[in-house]
Amino acid sequence: MAYSSKLKAHAEKLGRDVKIALVGAGQMGHGFGCQVDRMPGLTVSLVIDIDPARIMALYADLGENNPVISTDQNEIAAAISAGKRVGTTTSAFLSELPIDFVVEATGVPEIGAQITYSCLKAKMDVAVLNVEMDVTIGPLLHKIAVENGVVYTVCHGDEPIEAKVLVDFARDLNFEVIAAGKGKNNPFEPLSNPDSVRATATAKNMNPKMLCSFTDGSKTMTEMVALSNTTGIPLSKRGMNGPAATVKTLQNVFAPKEDGGILDKKGVIDYCTGDVAPGVFVIVKSDSKYINHEMSYLGMGPGPYFALYRPYHLASVEAPLSVARAVVDRESSLFATHLISEVVAMTKKDLKAGDKIDGIGGYTVRGYADIAADARRDNLVPIGLIQNAIVKNDVPVGTLLTYDDVELDATSLIVKLRKEQDDMGLTYAS
């Protein structure tokens, strides 16, 4: 990889550092900003957040205590061109600014859609820490990027990409991929809400909605759907299995049933609980007796199934590697050309007609992984479209919401883009 030297050479050729605009300075964005600004040839030139205090806190950690704070487009553009650090609370004219690379880190599907779509159309490279948006309209965004000669990528650091690296490794070595997935980090509490996790979130200095999206399973479902879509490997089933496993038992648990495991079929995406977290894994098999012997000799177990395991993912700390890869190699770390899997919405409480749905990590719904063709058959609505939707009829807790159950926000860009994606045949591919 060695991007440090390549980024230096790129900056020398360009005559300056790559100017990065960071949208969202919460926990993920702040970590990303601190790390990417340490990399040679890359500079955080603009931070956009609705909270000026978060902008100032990030810049303070970057050693900049006097950034230009403005909402005036001309002033912001002039300051960026002059090499100054800039902060603003609006993204309205981001695509018109003298920025080389945009990083979207809000985690909100609608905001992510607005930022990413406008910037790709303006021929700007975009990296996102917003897998919730990608599993909803990622194929369309990838198509737009290709058409405009720019890069659209989901960032390194979260489990989908790190598991994909292992899948690519296994495939390059001609192993059969039996299963791939992650260890779930937090206790699984499907009916949790921001209030029920608030004390823990406060202790961890986290946004309660973010922690809730972990505990209610939404994040795990979303990440595994992203892994499925980018690798072309289907989910094990609707909702997946999510068994208990340990690092030492992975290859036994994720084996076919006829060999003592839990799988109905080979070649699937799933997750587990236990000490596998915060790592990712791929279970492989070889049809070569000698290779199996070599794997056992190398300490990988008796076979015939072997676990390739990465014991960590570094979230925002390693996310800037995707920016480096895009800048230097003009490659995307993770993208999907079609959706074969989907994250739909399941109610977390009884909902009444007229209720407004608050979205991911909230009080009303959680994400649930599904096979895209099955979601289409059952008319299920993606959770990435659900925020601000109005419930049309009473639905009990534990219900998978259909398009007939809700009135989507007609003003939402992501709703409009998803329809465009569906009409183009980029969804429900097998």
The answer to whether residues 35 and 317 touch, using CB atoms and an 8 Å cutoff, is yes
Q: In the numeric block, which tokens belong to residue 171?
A: 């495939």
Q: pLDDT of 114-124, one tens digit each? A: 999 999 999 99
pLDDT at 89 over 60: yes
Mean pLDDT of 193-200: 96
Mean pLDDT of 218-229: 97
Q: In the numeric block, which tokens belong to residue 48?
A: 């956009």
Q: In the numeric block, which tokens belong to residue 392?
A: 């049309």
* Confidence at residue 186, expressed as pLDDT on a 0 to 100 scale: 81
Tell me how far apart the alpha carbons of residues 81 and 204 are, in angstroms, rounded to a whole number.
38
Mean pLDDT of 372-376: 96
Closest CA to 191 of 327, 384, 402, 365: 365
In whole angstroms, how far apart are CA 92 and each of 48, 103, 157, 305?
A: 10, 15, 28, 52
pLDDT at 402 over 90: yes
> β-pairing, 280-285 with 306-310?
antiparallel
Tell me how far apart the alpha carbons of residues 52 and 293 are, in angstroms, rounded to a whole number.
59
184-198, 231-245, 285-299, 337-351 — which is least confidently predicted? 184-198
pLDDT at 189 over 60: yes
Q: Which domains does the chain have, with CATH numbers?
A: 3-156+317-329 (3.40.50.720), 159-313 (no CATH), 341-423 (3.90.1210.10)
Residue 51 exposed, middle or buried by CB count within 10 Å (0-12, 13-18, 19+): exposed
In whole angstroms, how far apart are CA 206 and each of 21, 112, 356?
A: 23, 20, 25
Which amino acid, residue 176? Answer: E
Mean pLDDT of 99-110: 96
Question: If you average pLDDT over every residue of the chain, what do you get?
Answer: 96
pLDDT at 428 over 80: no
Kindly write down the DSSP assignment for every residue of 102-127, as one continuous string.
EEE----HHHHHHHHHHHHHTT-EEE
Q: pLDDT of 51-70, one tens digit each? A: 999 999 999 999 999 999 99
Closest CA to 107 of 367, 398, 395, 426: 367
Q: pLDDT of 171-182, one tens digit each? A: 999 999 999 999
Tell which wins on pLDDT, 187 or 222. Answer: 222
* Confidence at residue 187, expressed as pLDDT on a 0 to 100 scale: 83
pLDDT at 13 over 70: yes
* Confidence at residue 2, expressed as pLDDT on a 0 to 100 scale: 86
* Confidence at residue 429, expressed as pLDDT on a 0 to 100 scale: 62
Q: Which spans in 148-288 are helix H?
A: 159-172, 198-203, 208-215, 218-231, 250-253
The answer to whether residues 31 and 61 touch, using CB atoms and an 8 Å cutoff, is no
List phi, psi (to 5°) of 6.
-70, -35
In this prediction, residue 97 has a pLDDT band, given cuts at 50, 70 and 90, of: very high
* Confidence at residue 416, expressed as pLDDT on a 0 to 100 scale: 98
- Report the alpha-carbon angle 36-39-43, nearest 5: 60
* Confidence at residue 430, expressed as pLDDT on a 0 to 100 scale: 55
Residue 349 exposed, middle or buried by CB count within 10 Å (0-12, 13-18, 19+): middle
Cβ contacts of 163 within 8 Å, gap of 6 or more: 180, 181, 182, 227, 280, 281, 282, 310
Tokens 């049309």, located at residue: 392
